[in-house]
Chains A and B, each alone.
Chain A
Amino acid sequence: AQKITQTQPGMFVQEKEAVTLDCTYDTSDQSYGLFWYKQPSSGEMIFLIYQGSYDEQNATEGRYSLNFQKARKSANLVISASQLGDSAMYFCAMRVRQAGTALIFGKGTTLSVSS
């Protein structure tokens, strides 16, 4: 069965510091995609970054990078130089080819950035 696990219910970081949000996944499929979404208190879901299972390099998008360790089945999100506006819930999600294109989400991690 496909599953996403986010073990950190909450994380606290100071402005300008880097933070890593953990995500592990479980699938027997060889072809899959991993996503991170941000959900601010306003509720919308904002796409941040994507990593394909066959991508050899870690994905980066501005201050976001995805630390992809295939053998360990982990896809951690790294946010560099945190900003107050980064305070939000962060969801890791997976799409598995054999299960169609719908996303399977983890429970999320709440990130709080303080000044």
Chain B
Amino acid sequence: DSGVTQTPKHLITATGQRVTLRCSPRSGDLSVYWYQQSLDQGLQFLIQYYNGEERAKGNILERFSAQQFPDLHSELNLSSLELGDSALYFCASSGQGSSYNEQFFGPGTRLTVL
């Protein structure tokens, strides 16, 4: 158990819909990262938050947005969903207790868009 929690574990929805994925980082970790894992794109970085502020952006679509709240949990919002958004979405955290700034991954949310 990495200490990072993600909900829900599975999500099935239809094209055009909007969903919210939730992540709670390890206790004390200030950084939260979101990654998308799909068969065609592999594992790619979407966005990072540090202590409530956006720190870095990767290959995140404009239809996607994220935020980190004062209690450090984070939410990834995906809107106008398309079939190609079906993927495993990981949240990772780093900070306190990580010697090399290694990232600890949550179990992921598997999103299926029908």
Contact = CB atoms under 8 A, between A and B. Distances in A.
A99 B58 CA distance: 10
Interface string B40-80: 00111100100000011010000000000000000000000
Contacts of A50: 99-100, 102
6 closest residue pairs by CB, A with B: A45-B105, A105-B43, A100-B56, A102-B45, A50-B100, A47-B102
Contacts of A33: 100-101
A44 B56 contact: no
Interface in B77-114: 88, 90, 92, 94, 99-108, 110
Contacts of A52: 100
A103 B79 CA distance: 25
Interface of A: 33, 35, 37, 43-47, 50, 52, 91, 95, 99-108
Contacts of A102: 33, 45, 48, 56, 58
Nearest to A95: B101
B24 interface: no
A96 B101 CA distance: 12
Contacts of B108: 43-45
A91 B55 CA distance: 24
Interface residues of B, number: 27
B101 A43 contact: no
A50 B35 CA distance: 19
Contacts of B94: 101
A105 B101 contact: no
Contacts of B88: 43
Contact of A101 (B43, B101, B110): B101
B43 to A, nearest CB: 4
Contacts of A107: 42
17 contacts: A33-B101, A35-B100, A44-B106, A46-B105, A47-B103, A47-B104, A47-B105, A99-B56, A100-B48, A101-B31, A101-B55, A101-B56, A101-B94, A101-B101, A103-B33, A105-B42, A105-B44
